[in-house]
């Protein structure tokens, strides 16, 4: 029985959280998964953002609709409605089944979450909500409904600060690039229908869904099957791009991908010295041939684990 991959857990969880999550809450939830995985614990997020209507339907469960009562919060009374909460569960070793037993592994996952700033529903005195994690910054739902938003602290150590000034040569990764990643996500979203992916949350955080979208755009441009899986056919569809021979669409894809990997570039479709320098730096970091040309081997490094 093969162990479920970390990327699979992250991708499922990011998809389940949906759009509209607070960026720090989202990034912290993904970090819980990463840290738990290192300890042999498989955490998956089951839900994140909920609309008021979704919350009301959940509230009706066990009251006016079939099922058991799972929440005491109506629409607007849950921190899920403001992108500040997630629910989680554990999976089996192969990731094929959810497990809901609140055992030592479950409590360890909750402890990891609390170390990152989450409050755990399992600590509540009245209504124990063991799958629930939230960050409110001390705000009540009444304050949130009135428009207040919390100031949260990122404790993951993986935050992406604004790009550093490196003379614009793109030769080394900028430490972060949140605003640049947002630009890349906006660029990718224009292809969401053609490339068959759900609109990305423009949050400036590079996660599995962003890389999946970029891979699907690569497959769209290469006119091959759009399945989000890097394979021989996708690799064969990628043309070399260089200063002397490049196409704007492919160049923008390269630039967007490098931006999401931490490089400081404009997404302008111009394969100039900045882009060539970033490609060379990336190739060097991956231990492949350094020529400043983005070809199949470089794209494979981009997307082989997307």
DSSP states along 200-245: PP-SS---HHHHHHHHHHHHHHTTS--SS---HHHHHTPPPB-SSS
All domains in the chain, ordered by first residue: 6-145 (3.30.1380.10), 178-303 (no CATH)
Number of Cβ within 10 Å of residue 122's Cβ equals 16
Mean pLDDT of the chain: 90
**Alpha-carbon span 164 to 142, nearest angstrom:** 39
**Alpha-carbon span 188 to 251, nearest angstrom:** 13
The DSSP letter of residue 93 is: T
pLDDT band with cut points at 50, 70 and 90 for residue 300: very high
Strand-strand pairing, 132-134 and 119-120: antiparallel
**Alpha-carbon span 183 to 200, nearest angstrom:** 11
Retrieve residue 288's tokens.
């492949």
As a whole-number percent, the residues of the chain with pLDDT over 90 amount to 75
pLDDT tens string 61-107: 999 999 988 888 899 999 999 999 999 999 999 999 999 999 999 99
Give the count of alpha carbons within 13 A of 103, CB side only.
8
């Amino acid at each position: 029985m093969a162990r479920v991959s970390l990327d699979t857990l992250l991708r499922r969880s990011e998809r389940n959280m949906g759009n509209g999550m607070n960026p720090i809450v989202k990034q912290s939830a993904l970090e819980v998964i990463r840290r738990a995985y290192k300890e042999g614990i498989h955490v998956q997020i089951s839900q994140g953002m909920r609309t008021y209507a979704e919350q009301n339907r959940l509230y009706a469960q066990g009251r006016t609709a079939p099922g058991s009562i799972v929440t005491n919060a109506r629409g607007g009374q849950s921190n899920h409605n403001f992108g500040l909460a997630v629910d989680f569960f554990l999976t089996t070793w192969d990731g094929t089944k959810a497990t809901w037993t609140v055992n030592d592994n479950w409590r360890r996952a909750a402890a990891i979450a609390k170390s990152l700033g989450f409050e755990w529903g399992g600590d509540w005195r009245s209504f124990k909500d063991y799958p629930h994690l939230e960050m409110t910054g001390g705000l009540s739902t009444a304050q949130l409904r009135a428009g207040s938003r919390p100031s949260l602290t990122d404790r993951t150590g993986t935050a992406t600060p604004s790009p550093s000034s490196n003379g614009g040569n793109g030769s080394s990764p900028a430490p972060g690039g949140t605003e640049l990643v947002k630009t890349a996500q906006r660029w990718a979203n224009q292809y969401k229908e053609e490339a068959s992916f759900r609109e990305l949350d423009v949050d400036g955080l590079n996660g599995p869904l962003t890389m999946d979208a970029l891979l699907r755009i690569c497959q769209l441009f290469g006119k091959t099957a759009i399945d989000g899986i890097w394979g021989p056919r996708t690799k064969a569809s990628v043309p070399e791009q260089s200063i002397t021979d490049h196409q704007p669409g492919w160049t923008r894809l390269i630039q967007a991908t490098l931006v999401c990997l931490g490089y400081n570039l404009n997404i302008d479709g111009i394969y100039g010295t900045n882009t060539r320098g970033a490609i060379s730096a990336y190739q060097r970091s991956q231990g492949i041939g350094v020529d400043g040309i983005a070809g199949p081997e470089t794209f494979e490094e981009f997307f082989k684990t997307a």
